[in-house]
């Protein structure tokens, strides 16, 4: 299964709480997205558009087909380990890297995963396909930086369409 890349942080567009506002994610695919190629100012060969998500990863069913579309009000939860997929069945967020596991609290099923050893497949906005290692730099070294608003790692820079940061080799 493959899901659209929403960006580095949570995707609550429209906001989950009525009467509040939400900042749209920095990726290309999210609820009510009107992103055009002209909006991908980091370049189409430096921006991820679609990422792989395993239908079942470990004991949790969290693939793209677990929910159709997006709903901020849906909160799906796996009863085996309490993992929430928050209705994000068609989009993926990447602040927790690639290939989460129930024993690793740094990863979660709303992100990207695959049954391939070592990483997952991604489509960039230029149409090319890249296998990205699960060991890609994804964790911010600055505790004061909001990952949803500023791309400080290689993976975050690939997930964001207009952060203006240099991606480098990956």
pLDDT in tens, the chain (170 residues): 888 898 886 555 566 667 776 677 889 988 778 899 999 999 999 999 999 988 665 555 554 444 434 444 344 444 444 444 444 456 777 767 888 765 555 556 678 888 888 999 999 999 999 999 999 988 776 655 555 456 788 998 999 999 888 888 88
How far is the C-alpha of 39 from the C-alpha of 124, rounded, in Å?
14
Residue 156 near residue 140, CB atoms below 8 Å: yes
How far is the C-alpha of 170 from the C-alpha of 56, rounded, in Å?
26
How many domains is the chain built from? 1
Range of the domain at 121: 1-170
Residue 57 burial by Cβ neighbours in a 10 Å radius (0-12, 13-18, 19+): buried
How far is the C-alpha of 131 from the C-alpha of 74, rounded, in Å?
31
Residue 14 burial by Cβ neighbours in a 10 Å radius (0-12, 13-18, 19+): middle
Q: What is the pTM of this model?
A: 0.75
Q: Which pLDDT score is estimated for 52?
A: 92
3-state SS class at 59 = coil
Residues in Cβ contact with 144 at an 8 Å cutoff, skipping those fewer than 6 apart: none
């Amino acid at each position: 299964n493959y899901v659209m890349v929403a960006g580095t942080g949570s995707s609550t567009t429209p906001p989950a709480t009525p009467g509040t506002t939400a900042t749209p994610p920095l990726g290309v695919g999210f609820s009510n997205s009107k992103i055009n190629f002209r909006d991908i100012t980091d370049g189409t060969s430096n921006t991820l558009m679609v990422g792989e998500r395993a239908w079942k990863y470990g004991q949790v069913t969290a693939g793209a087909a677990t929910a159709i579309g997006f709903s901020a009000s849906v909160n799906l939860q796996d009863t085996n380990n309490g993992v929430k997929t928050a209705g994000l069945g068609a989009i993926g967020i990447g602040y927790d890297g690639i290939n989460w596991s129930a024993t690793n609290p740094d990863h979660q099923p709303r992100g990207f995963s695959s049954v391939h050893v070592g990483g997952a497949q991604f489509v960039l906005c230029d149409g090319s396909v890249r296998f990205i290692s699960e060991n890609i730099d994804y964790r911010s070294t600055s505790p004061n930086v909001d990952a949803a608003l500023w791309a400080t790692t290689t993976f975050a820079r690939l997930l964001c369409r207009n952060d203006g940061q240099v991606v480098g080799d990956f």
